[in-house]
Chain A
């Protein structure tokens, strides 16, 4: 089966002009303008199959949103090939546009002064959705998101969580096969975040939709995505299964120890790198191949009350990847 999304050596550079601060800087930049190429995306390649839910992670300015914008046909790529459902996004053909949806958590598409329902009806017309299909999809989505009574309230009166739900419905009424979700949980409280995740998961399974999701919250990605793509400074750092990232990037295991009585942290240095320490608790990271040797040493030298050996948290690994790349 052909991949739904295929990206090959995609580059997107922006030109930004530089201006020194102040009035004189303004005059100088007017007379002699200096441009700077910002490499937002600098040669990335990946393929995504139908029904996959892929997490796109990276720090601010890594190029995640730019990639999504290029994929949804908003931006013209500087170079490289890409196809989504066998079409080039930038041509913005109708057959392409009715298959996709771009949802940006920080941007609303709903009419501010009107109830969400009006936007839905407008979108129904734009995407030429049949009456029956519209009603079916709407009732299905409203049930999944537990809305219902807020659809006839003007959007400005809704809370952020309610608004995001309406945004989702309006973006999904035409049953897109490919979804680009840019920070869908930004600014939501924990409960709303969880609702959003549950919904995305359910939607992915029920509609067999292919989804790319970007998020700052590792919790989103951990819960939803089997596969992640880590991007930093416009290049892909990692593309693969979420669980494999631990193997690949982290040569250590984390040892959490409770001691029977207070001990001095200096003595622990022989065991491994002490990351956290308080009175009679310590968290030590130890290289994988030395784990049994060092654990034995620890047990023989200290009075240990409790001990666990864990993989480091994915958050920590990702943070470390970004930090070492600085």
Chain B
């Protein structure tokens, strides 16, 4: 019992002394800072332990390097995954930007057309029905008389799709309009070959080649070559054309030079507008 009591006292004394020593050192350290006895003790301790620390550092450095390599590898994989996510995001953003640019181009095109043709007011509309009837091809668009559309208004493709001639408005209701497209045999558009003097004619659908156009009644004397651009001539004489001049129609793909003494020749024209894939049009309303 006495032995146990002595042990308890000794323990308490040791712990008490150590606590008192700690508090004393803490007070001294706080008052003196890094100078005086405390500072020299710290410098001495650092000097003594420095060689051991250096050895320990060297011995363990391969393991530390291996650890860093492993964690670096994990970090690299995480960063790769993050980069993949960012790349996907960038792709989506790029697609969005492209879409916005196209919209911007369309709107700019409309504005541009107004500048060039101050007598027309462009109204864009979506194609809601595309007629499957190949004899009288037409499309129905989602704008009508409520939006100011009238019969015989010229219809062009959006500038983003080339801005080429599509046809004319054939029928109108309040909210829809039927467009007679260039592939309709009943349509005829006065046209000319750009930059070719006297190369005027009438655009009609090709009889033997679906989807192609023929420019008929072109004078034999007119010099026309493959690749030339055909535009509306906008005839303004007594029989005024429905279409303003300069609207692109298509590109010359074949010139039939008639050597049988005929006065005119035919030119095959591929339209700029893809009538099978027409999603939107612009109706040019007369102001």
Q: Do A and B come from one complex?
A: no
B residues sitting closer than 8 Å to A (CB atoms) are: none
A residues sitting closer than 8 Å to B (CB atoms) are: none
